[in-house]
Amino acid sequence: MPRRLSLLAALTAVAVAALAACGSSLEATGTLDAGKLTIYSAQHKDLTEEWAKEFQDRSGVQVQIRYGNDSSMGAQIVQEGASSPADVFLTENSPAMTTVQNGGLLAPVEAATLAQVDPLYVPSTKEWVGIAARSTVLVYNPTLISEAQLPGSLMDLAKPEFAGKWGVAAGGADFQAIVSAVLATQGEQQTSQWLTALESGAKIYQNNIATMKAVNAGQSPMGVIYHYYWYRDQGLDKESSGNTKLHYFKNGDPGAFVSLSGGGVLKSSKKAADAQKFLAYVTSPDGQKVLGTTDSKEYAVGKGVASDPALPPLESLQSPKIDPFTLNGPKVMQLMTQAGLL
Ligand SMILES: [Fe+2]
């Protein structure tokens, strides 16, 4: 084949492969197909797709995914009630799962599935199961603030000396879960005061990546984010994190909060057996390995499954002893609204 033609053929092959990759997304953007297993996912798209495609290939069960964020999807499921088309709900953080559980909408998770996960990540109700974990971190720019000058606690960010010096994605589900940990450890009054200080003293960004980029670009000395955004960028080109470092609060501080992503099967599901099979796969050693081998960078919670070796071990983070199954999403929304943050 002449050189130019072979180049054209190669380019065409690449274009076809790219199209196929797009076309094979399991995201349902329009009307749902009643014949498929329906996942409502507030987890990241890449991770959800990875799990769902692998499950579909192994089981032959056809899957479709509807995406949203924790609070809107949780509220949607509660509103849809028994007629919800969702068979499975995956969250980024546990408060949304608790909301759906409190609505009496979840079925018990099969015992064999629960047994695959560290008992720390299984609620006493056994109506959902942990599928991944993420750690709160303080990202900072050492050219603007030295390690010695950093706050000793997440709560100290409310002090006047740190006003204007830190940023956060206050509108996102990730930060709302962190606030739920503040509420669980500090009580309502302290949390309200902290949120009021945050409203006047913090720079508000669109999401965790925007917060990290602002710190990296020197626009903000510090930012509160989850760990995986930083480790992902570090594993790539460091374009959004190369000028920054991470600080871990430790000592049971609310800033050391480890948040749990959850998976549950809806009581109203007409495909309950397949839905349970999906949760069994996600929590299995193979399903959990995806967390350590892709660029998800979230922590694995499956028994004996290693997380990405780039991450500090989960046990070393000295996270506060909070029962993740009691975290109160609606109360957090109420306090954040009162503080003028939502
Ligand atoms: Fe996230």
- For residue 293, give both structure tokens: 């081998």
Predicted local confidence at residue 199, as pLDDT: 95
What are φ and ψ of residue 267, in 5° steps?
-60, -30
Q: Are 80 and 49 in contact (CB under 8 A)?
A: no
Residues 182, 55 share a domain: no
Predicted local confidence at residue 325, as pLDDT: 82
Q: Are 180 and 318 in contact (CB under 8 A)?
A: no
Using the mean position of ligand 1's atoms as its centre, give its distance from the Cα of residue 140 in Å.
18
Q: Which residues contact 127 (CB under 8 A, 6 or more apart)?
A: 101, 106, 107, 108, 109, 264
Using the mean position of ligand 1's atoms as its centre, give its distance from the Cα of residue 17 in Å.
28
Within a domain: residue 318?
Answer: no
Residues 222, 171 share a domain: yes
Residues 138, 216 share a domain: yes
Predicted local confidence at residue 126, as pLDDT: 95
Within a domain: residue 202?
Answer: yes
Using the mean position of ligand 1's atoms as its centre, give its distance from the Cα of residue 92 in Å.
7
| Residue 231, phi-psi category: left (phi > 0), alpha (psi -120 to 50), beta (remainder) | alpha
Query: What is the 8-class DSSP label of residue 110?
Result: P
Using the mean position of ligand 1's atoms as its centre, give its distance from the Cα of residue 233 in Å.
13
Q: Which residues contact 132 (CB under 8 A, 6 or more apart)?
A: 43, 47, 260, 261, 291, 296, 298, 299, 300, 301
Within a domain: residue 203?
Answer: yes
SS3 label, residue 333: helix
Q: Are 201 and 156 in contact (CB under 8 A)?
A: no
Using the mean position of ligand 1's atoms as its centre, give its distance from the Cα of residue 228 in Å.
8
Predicted local confidence at residue 9, as pLDDT: 53
Using the mean position of ligand 1's atoms as its centre, give its distance from the Cα of residue 178 in Å.
12
Residues 32, 104 share a domain: yes
Using the mean position of ligand 1's atoms as its centre, give its distance from the Cα of residue 151 in Å.
24
- How many independent structural domains does the chain possess? 2
Residues 265, 128 share a domain: yes
Using the mean position of ligand 1's atoms as its centre, give its distance from the Cα of residue 255 in Å.
16
Using the mean position of ligand 1's atoms as its centre, give its distance from the Cα of residue 262 in Å.
13
Q: How far is CA 102 from CA 93, 105, 106, 279, in A?
A: 15, 8, 9, 20
> Which domain range does residue 218 map to?
134-257+329-338
Predicted local confidence at residue 10, as pLDDT: 53
Per-residue pLDDT of the chain (342 residues; tens, 9 = 90+): 444 545 555 555 544 444 444 457 999 999 999 999 999 999 999 999 999 999 999 999 999 999 999 999 999 999 999 999 999 999 999 999 999 999 999 999 999 999 999 999 999 899 999 999 999 999 999 999 999 999 999 999 999 999 999 999 999 999 999 999 999 999 999 999 999 999 999 999 999 999 999 999 999 999 999 999 999 999 999 999 999 999 999 999 999 999 999 999 999 999 999 999 999 999 999 999 999 999 999 999 999 999 999 999 999 999 999 888 889 888 999 999 999 998
Within a domain: residue 319?
Answer: no
SS (H, E, C) 15-34: HHHHHHHHHCCCECCCCCCC
Residues 239, 92 share a domain: no
Using the mean position of ligand 1's atoms as its centre, give its distance from the Cα of residue 278 in Å.
22
Q: How far is CA 220 from CA 3, 244, 319, in A?
A: 51, 11, 26
Predicted local confidence at residue 6, as pLDDT: 53
245, β-bridge pairs:
140
Predicted local confidence at residue 5, as pLDDT: 47
Q: Look at residues 89, 63, 85, 88 and name the one whose alpha carbon lies nearest to residue 74.
A: 89
| CATH code, domain with 230 | 3.40.190.10
Look up tokens 């199961």; give the residue: 129
Using the mean position of ligand 1's atoms as its centre, give its distance from the Cα of residue 13 in Å.
34
Which secondary structure element, helix H or strand E, spans residue 132, and what is its range? Answer: strand 129-140
